[in-house]
Structure formats: C-alpha cells, structure tokens
Amino acid sequence: MIEMVKIHPTAIVHPKAELDEDVEVGPYSIIEEDVQIGRGTKIGPHVLICRWTRIGRDCRIHFGSTIGVPSQDLKYKGWRSYAIIGDRNVIREYVSISRATAEEGATIIGNDNLIMNSAKISHDCVIGNNVIMADFATLGGHVQVEDYARVGAMTGVHQFVRIGKMAMAGACSKFTKDVPPFTVADGHPARVRGLNIIGLSTSVANPMKLLPPETRARLKKAFRILFRSDLPLKEAIERVRREVEPDPEVEHLLRFIETSKRGICV
C-alpha cells in the first residue's frame, strides 16, 4: 500500500522538491527547491530545509531546525554544494547544519545519529554512524566525527579536528587537537583522561557491535604505552606494534594518531 505525503496547509514546499512516500511536513516549515527527502521521514513545525539538501529514510527533524543552510565560510559564493543526511537520524530542536563550502562539495551525516537541541554542524563536516551530539555542541568547519563517538554538551570543536571512533569528547570542553579513538578527553584545552571504558563495553545504539574482551584488553595495553609511558609518540607507536597482539581496532588507533595533522590531545 502506497502511503501518501502529508503536508500541513501552512507549510511551503517548492514544486521541484522531491518527497518520497510517507513523508510528513509540519506547520510553517519551508522546503526549498532541489531538496530530496526519503521515505518515512517526518519534518516537524518551523523547520527550514534549504536547496541541495539530501535526507534519507525514517529521519525525525524537530521544531526550528535549519538544514542545509549556506556555508558561513567567507569563501562561499553561492554555488551548488550539498548537505547529505543518511537514514534514521534524529535531529532535535533548533539544530543547524550547513552545506559545504566548495562547489559540489558536501557536508555528510551518516546513519542512526542523535543530534540534540541547538547543536551546530558547520560546513564540510563528516559525521559517521551512531554518533551522539549533546545540547549546544558545536563543530567548526571540516570536523570529522567517527562512528559511535560522543560529543558532550556545550563543547566547542575547532576546524579540521577529528573525533575518533568510540571516543568521548567531554562536556563544556575546548578541542583544538584530535581526540584519539576509544578515549575520553576534556578540559581547556582538552586532554586525554583515559580509555572510554563504558563505551568499549556497552552500546545502547547497537549491542551487536560491542568490542570483544580480547580487543578491549589489547586497547588497554596500547593505551598505557601510548599515553602513560612518557615515551615520544613515535617510539610508543613502534612499541605497541612490537608488544601488543595485532588487532584491527588497535591498528585503527595507531593509524589515527599517525595521520593526525593537528596533533592529538595527550
């Protein structure tokens, strides 16, 4: 059975916007031209979805959010760029998401993310899957957030910083350097405080993706060498590769550190 699109009489939807089956658009929302919205997505009241935005299936976008707004980068001159949002995302009240700066570039948000009230995702950010951003968290341009990361409330993340897989960026903190995967970091400026023990051993979003005990043990050993041995990072990485049994997650941690351009929180 085909489910019809439901558009409130006060909403404004451009005739060139593409809305799939079972999409709902709430009161006073505005959807501009060249927007695509996937099946089952619900748009709440007073939402603005700007042109060149792509939204997947079964998303929930709440009151007052602005999606795909023009980049605030001064280099942006109005050319076509995108905000691409995957499936099953929950975007709460007053969230702002900018499209990319470069022509034909994209701000990208994956699947199954929770973006809480008044969070800001700036131009050219790349967000993975199963990420949680708490209230008023702010990502500068070109920030990357890997899968299962957590960004605390009222956190500020500098442009080009990366938040690693399953990392916890603590609330009310200032991040000017990369946060390594599987760690907890906070402060002004932020420092690594320890492994994200709770994140490694539990997952509300997807319990089938828990790390096995042997991987957690290897990460703990690698963490002690990297952050508690007082060795220079290059030497610590070499020691981890010698002394820790090979593991994909440990290797991901090491490669993240080796490829950092801004340096890492230590």
pLDDT averaged over every residue in the chain: 95
Describe the strand order of the beta sheet including 48-49 as a list of residue ranges: 12-13, 30-31, 48-49, 66-69, 96-98, 120-121, 138-139, 156-157, 174-175
Q: How confident is the model at residue 2 (pLDDT cuts 50, 70, 90)?
A: low
Residue in 87, 124, 135, 147 annotated catalytic: 124
Domain boundaries, the chain: 6-197, 207-258
* CATH code given to domain 207-258: 1.20.1180.10
Ramachandran region, residue 52 (left: φ > 0; alpha: ψ -120 to 50; beta: rest): left
Peptide bond before residue 189 is cis, with ω within 30 degrees of 0 = yes
- Whether residue 34 lies in the annotated active site: no
Write out pLDDT tens, residues 147-176: 999 999 999 999 999 999 999 999 999 999
pLDDT at 176: 97
- Whether residue 124 lies in the annotated active site: yes
Residue in 38, 86, 140, 141 annotated catalytic: 141
Q: What is the DSSP letter of 67?
A: E
Q: How confident is the model at residue 239 (pLDDT cuts 50, 70, 90)?
A: very high
Provide the CATH topology of domain 6-197: UDP N-Acetylglucosamine Acyltransferase; domain 1 (2.160.10)
- Find residue 179's DSSP bridge partners: 163
Q: Say yes or no to pLDDT of 37 above 90.
A: yes
Q: Does the reported pTM lie above 0.75?
A: yes
- Whether residue 87 lies in the annotated active site: no
Residue in 56, 87, 112, 123 annotated catalytic: 123
Q: How confident is the model at residue 1 (pLDDT cuts 50, 70, 90)?
A: very low
